[in-house]
Structure 1
């Protein structure tokens, strides 16, 4: 019988130490998931923002890696040469 009492005391002491409170934001309380329209605008807005950030950062990386080899970097040499020929 002492084993049962020990288990009961252990469960009682664990349950008094562990607090089972809900997290501050759950799926039930989320303002984004309340209506389908809000969820749709949130998803499309996030996708648009992430695409814009990805495109901008990848263009900057590409320009940095290929500096001096792109038309925008060497155009002034050929434009000046064409004006001198005329």
Structure 2
């Protein structure tokens, strides 16, 4: 994981087929931005194929999962 001086962070996250985050992923203290590199990501509500960009505002939540598996680039601009 990359960490910036101002608390920002970035990481590559891989979900295997059938993976599901345990509980809600709450975006605190700031937003989360996700780019789907490969596969299909589901936030608990909607599928996002490769090439999708998702902005989750601070205070929002989702339940990350993937039926097929996926690779994500995740950026936390405020930590």
Same structural fold, with TM-score higher than 0.5 when normalized by the shorter chain: no
Relative contact order, higher structure (CA 8 A, sep 6+):
2
Higher strand share goes to which structure?
A: 2
Q: Decide which structure has the larger Cα Rg and report it.
A: 1
Higher helix share goes to which structure?
A: 1
TM-score, length of structure 1 as denominator length: 0.16
